[in-house]
Amino acid sequence: MSPAAASVNGGGGEMSEKVKSPVDLKKSNVPPIAHPTPDDAFGVAANIQYHVQYGPHFSPFKFEPEQAFYATAESVRDTLIQRWNDTYAHFHKTDPKQTYYISMEYLQGRALTNAIGNLNLTDAYGSALMKLGHDLETIVDQERDAALGNGGLGRLASCFLDSMATLSLPAWGYGLRYKYGLFSQRITKKGQEEYAEDWLQKFSPWEIVRHDVVHPVRFFGEVQSQEDGSRRWIGGETVQALAYDIPIPGYQTKNTISLRVWDARVPAQEFDLYAFNAGDYAKAESLHAKASQICAVLYPGDATEEGKLLRLKQQYFMCSASLQDIIARFKERRPSKGPIDWSEFPNKVAVQMNDTHPTLSAPELMRILMDDEGLGWDEAWAITNKTVAYTNHTVLPEALEKWSQTVMAKLLPRHMEIITEIDKQFQAFVTKTRPDLESKIESMRVLDNNPQKPVVRMAHLCVLSSHKVNGVAELHSDILKKDLFADFYSLWPDKFQNKTNGVTPRRWLRFCSPELSTIITKWLRTDKWVTNLDLLAGLRQFADDKQLHKEWAAAKLQNKVRFAHYLEEKTGVKINPNSMFDTQIKRIHEYKRQLMNILGVVYRYKKMKEMSPEERKKVVPRVVMLAGKAFATYEQAKRIVKLVTDVGAVVNNDPGIGDLLKVVFIPNYNVTVAELAIPASELSQHISTAGMEASGTSNMKFALNGCLIIGTLDGANVEIREEIGEENFFLFGARADDVPRLRKEREAGQFKPDPRFEEAKHFIRSGAFGDYDYEPLLDSLEGNSGYGRGDYFLVGYDFPSYIDCQKEVDEAYKDQDRWVKMSILSTAGSGKFSSDRTIAQYAREIWNIQECRVP
């Protein structure tokens, strides 16, 4: 069952019955009418009929749920295209300053529910499909997630697009059109297995290919000096970037913006017909094959030199195509006569780099301005600096990108020159203006000339090129200033900002939990909270109201029942909806400490086994659910997945335990799974080692849905706790400030493990969960030094306070009045975490753009 379904079925009436296939369309008496903007059920049905009959993808009159989905989506797309055209025309006419958000990842999820919800056409579509013999719920469930991302950074980009559209901002997203996304995860006896995620299997009804928008992108080649002293990049290989637009509708506005994703092609003349006819097919198609590698997958393995080169190619391909497109649009909107006034460029264009993957946008803009447009260095640098800004999303050393100078110079010789010049000028600047920083220059430089492995530090290049640098939660932004970028901060204090992340209230409450939304609207007497999330604070006055408690608990239960069905279908594990639903869903990483969660479960299970039947009666039944993908080459993370599933296999089949404890690993975590799991959860775990999670955004989604958080003082947890009240947050663990000292103490052999920690590890080692070799995992928690070993993530240190805190959770849950009140207060305190607020801040404080609403 899908979240959208409930919005249709929730109210009962004509749509509550499921319709059986196959459907005889001729009996529907609905004529096919091409009607791009229908707003009533009949018009919608006629337009869907039109797509069934005249759409090029399926045999006419075949009307199984899958075809019905495509025809329905295409009819929605008609409306979106019209609005998109109007929006584009309006932007073109009014020529406002426009933001371009460049991101390697977007996790869009499904689009149908969101699109008809934003267009306020959910009921019309529900009734239309009824007339045609289908129910919306089944149709919505046909859609595959658009999975062009990996984790929080990609989903954030998608939430941001939703908010940019909803706030009617002149903004646009750029990314890559991966044929397969990251990967599709299957869980077998061996643990996680990865398969190509074929999200485009048939086709995506949401993308519009722009055959007229093509930009050449060059790789390799050489740089030559021109007679006038300028430099020119020539030769090498050229591929074409072809634009696909995915429309992004705003909520309650006509504004529909675009996510433009690039696909790599080679022109037909590059196809070697002679080689082909001579039977050398590989040679004939070699350029095609190379081009198709660029957009094959997100984050291809980079253990080999080829892999590294491909990653860099992807990044440059995205940056170059996007920058060329931005510049073409800028020129198109200039008066046709006379020379272009490039100083106007930063008044019309803001480029936001989502992490370091789009860093090459800066040298690429420099290259175009200097080599193609003839500007001098200083002028080009000033324009670039005023145009680009950078968001940092992680302080993990292994995620801070560094590219080999050799690879960079080979693939992008002209950019390497430009980067070298940036590096040189930076050194001169510091020497001249800040002699006190002289000793820091080497560590601040863009080029790390370590003779073993000379690299380009992409984050440093971002900081130098950008006029603003921001972190994604207050604590994280402070760490950037105090630690990662401390020297740069002392050089340019005004450059650094914080923009605490947010999530879109449309997808993450209004559409994924229609039951709770209805209750909120009823008690607040307005649905304006959907675009003004601060209004949720109005729920506080009812936090003790018994009637609200009843309705709230009923809505949560409905969500739990729905999710329990889903889980049983996907995993075969039957769970009791009256248990506490406890979830940890996020990428699997040691710093996120899923290992601590499962060690806690192991400890709980052991204690339960030791209990008398009388004692067991007092236990709060729990279902512990985890989900998330482990990066394909990250062995330790994959072992964690394996341990979770092994613990589940034992616990879930222990007759003495029954419903008191279940442990479920939900396979193939994606946006759709999150939309089902979050509204159903009562407790969620955000338990990273303090200082390591930049923000987290699922914590915001859970709190918004009235799910309580057990967590450390890390990332946005800090601000969530402030907003919802510390009495409504289960806090434990070391503070970020203490972490360096604790690591040192551990290295000095001063750590004394808690007996409960030892007991949990020992239980696993005893073979209670099978004979898989967990030693590399358990060993990482032992010892006293090093990364990965010596318990770098401080699981052992935090474990006792975690177990104590879980006890408090159980006590709180026993008092359901208290629990429901805490749940209401969580939602009531979540107003700050709307991506509308975040985006409004970016617009004001970084981009300097204003609303540009289609009349």
Binding region for ligand 26V (CB under 6 A): 150-153, 156, 299, 355, 393-394, 399, 472, 501, 693-697, 715
CB of 153 to ligand 26V, least distance (A): 3
Task: List, in sequence order, the alpha helices (H) in 351-412.
Answer: 361-367, 377-387, 405-411
**Cβ of residue 542: shortest distance to ligand 26V, in angstroms?**
31
What HEC string does 9-38 produce? HCCCHHHCCCCCCCCCHHHHCCCCCCCCCC
Cβ proximity to ligand 26V: between 15 and 459 the closer is 459
Helix/strand/coil (H, E, C) string of 1-16? CCHHHHHHHCCCHHHC
- In the numeric block, the tokens 């992004």 are attached to 248
Nearer to ligand 26V, 251 or 299 (CB): 299
Q: By the 8 A CB rule, do 272 and 284 touch?
A: yes
Pull the structure tokens for residue 793: 């993530």
Please, are residues 35 and 49 in contact by the beta-carbon 8 Å criterion? no
Closer Cβ to ligand 26V, 501 or 597, answer by number:
501
Q: Which CB atom, from 300 or from 600, has the smaller least distance to ligand 26V?
A: 300
Kindly tell me which of 30 and 690 has the beta carbon lying closer to ligand 26V: 690
User: Shortest gap between Cβ of 357 and ligand 26V (angstroms)?
Assistant: 7
* Residue where the block lists tokens 């074929």: 198
Min separation Cβ 104 and ligand 26V, Å: 8
Least distance from ligand 26V to the Cβ atom of residue 614, Å: 44
The CB-of-703 to ligand 26V minimum distance in angstroms stands at 14
Residue 401 vs 646, nearer CB to ligand 26V: 401
Q: Report the SS3 class of residue 493.
A: helix
Q: Which is nearer to ligand 26V, 591 or 772 (CB)?
A: 591
Instruction: Extract the tokens encoding 843.
Output: 């617009």
Of 331, 383, 329, nearest to 172 (Cα)?
A: 329
Amino acid present at 484: L
Query: What is the C-alpha to C-alpha distance for residues 360 and 365, in angstroms, rounded to an integer?
Result: 8
Task: Show Cβ contacts of residue 367 under 8 Å, excluding neighbours closer than 6 positions.
Answer: 233, 414, 415, 418
- Burial class from Cβ neighbours inside 10 Å (0-12, 13-18, 19+) for residue 487 reads middle
Q: How far apart are CA 676 and CA 627, in angstroms?
A: 12
CB atoms inside a 10 Å sphere around CB 504: 27
Strand intervals (E) in 153-229: 171-176, 184-188, 191-195, 208-219, 222-225
What is the nearest approach in angstroms of ligand 26V to the Cβ of residue 735? 17
Q: Least distance in Å: CB of 587 to ligand 26V?
A: 8
A 10 A CB-CB count for 400 gives 16
User: Between residues 260 and 393, which has the closer beta carbon with respect to ligand 26V?
Assistant: 393
Q: From the CB of 688, what's the least distance to ligand 26V, in Å?
A: 8
Q: What is the DSSP annotation of 225-246?
A: E-TTS-EEEE-SEEEEEEEEEE
Print burial letters for 250-278: b (CB count within 10 Å at least 16), e (below 16): bbebbbbbbbbbbbbbbeeebebeeeeee
Nearest approach, Cβ of 311 to ligand 26V (angstroms)?
8
Task: Pick the closest to residue 575 from 649, 661, 645, 644 (CA basis).
Answer: 661
Query: What does the angle CA 419 – CA 171 – CA 347 come to, to the nearest 5 degrees?
Result: 60
What's the closest the beta carbon of residue 413 comes to ligand 26V, in angstroms?
A: 25
| Least separation in angstroms between CB 435 and ligand 26V | 35
Enzyme catalytic residues: 393, 586-587, 592, 697, 701
Q: CB atoms < 10 A from the CB of 195, how many?
A: 11
What burial letters (b/e) apply to 13-39, b meaning 16+ CB within 10 Å?
Answer: eebeeeeeeebebeebebebeebeebe
Give whichever of 490 and 633 is closer to ligand 26V, judged by the CB atom.
Answer: 633
Identify the residue whose tokens are 């900081």.
463
Residue nearest to ligand 26V (CB): 152
Q: Which is nearer to ligand 26V, 722 or 782 (CB)?
A: 722
- Nearer to ligand 26V among residue 156 and residue 369 (C-beta): 156
Q: Give the burial class of 302: count Cβ atoms within 10 A of its Cβ; 0-12 exposed, 13-18 middle, 19 or more buried.
A: middle
Which 8-state DSSP code applies to residue 338?
S
Angle at which helix 546-571 crosses helix 671-680, to 10 degrees, equals 140
The three-state DSSP-derived secondary structure of 118-158 is HCCCHHHHHHHHHHCCCCHHHHHCCCCCEEECCCHHHHHHH
Whole-angstrom distance, CA of residue 390 vs CA of residue 352:
6
Q: Which is nearer to ligand 26V, 371 or 401 (CB)?
A: 401
The answer to whether 197 touches 298, Cβ cutoff 8 Å, is no
Query: DSSP string covering 230-299, please?
Result: -EEEE-SEEEEEEEEEEEEEPTTSS-EEEEEEEEEE--GGGS-HHHHHTT-HHHHTHHHHHHHHHTT-SS
Pick between residue 103 and residue 142 the one whose CB is nearest to ligand 26V.
Answer: 103
- State in angstroms the smallest separation of the CB of 503 from ligand 26V: 10
Q: What are phi and psi of 469, to 5 degrees?
A: -130, 130
